[in-house]
Amino acid sequence: MGLVEFADKEGVRWRVWHVDTPASRAHLMDPQYRNGWLVFEREDGRERRRFNQVPDDWASLAKERLALLCQVAVPVVAPKNTPSGAQPVMARPDSDPR
């Protein structure tokens, strides 16, 4: 199963899927994401999160368990289009001064 949909306890609908890191590019990745990660995306596209401790059976987990993983997943900053093209999505620092 490549895509799973669920709702969190507030009723927000999410999609989750697994991203594999190609071996040829793993050395370029943040070490915590070299073995792949789960992407959690709100159904309306307003938010994405990453979870790097991918359970082997993630696609068959109960919806409540997926909601818990989503809750602790790291939010990511949306990509920005600039004159030089699309910029990569980066994790938001925990110490964001906003």
Residue-wise pLDDT for 36-66, tens only, equals: 899 999 999 999 999 999 999 999 999 999 9
Q: Is residue 94 in a domain?
A: no
Residue 36 belongs to some domain of the structure: yes
Q: Is residue 86, in this structure, part of any structural domain at all?
A: no
pLDDT band at 78 (very low <50, low <70, confident <90, very high): low
Q: Calculate what percentage of the chain has a pLDDT beyond 70.
A: 78
**Is position 90 within any domain?**
no
- In Å, how far are 59, 70, 91 from 94, measured between CA atoms? 28, 17, 9
In a domain, 28, yes or no: yes
Spatial distance between the Cα atoms of 34 and 21, rounded to a whole number of angstroms: 6
Q: Which of the pair, 34 or 1, is modelled with greater confidence?
A: 34
Q: Could you tell me if residue 88 is inside a domain?
A: no
Query: Region 69-80: what's the mean pLDDT?
Result: 85
**Which pLDDT score is estimated for 58?**
95
For residues 4 and 49, give the distance between their C-alpha atoms in angstroms, rounded to a whole number.
15
Q: What are the Cα distances from residue 88, in Å, to 14, 44, 55?
A: 22, 20, 25
Cα 74 to Cα 40: distance, rounded to the nearest angstrom: 9
Determine, yes or no, domain membership for 42: yes
Residue 54: its pLDDT value, please?
93
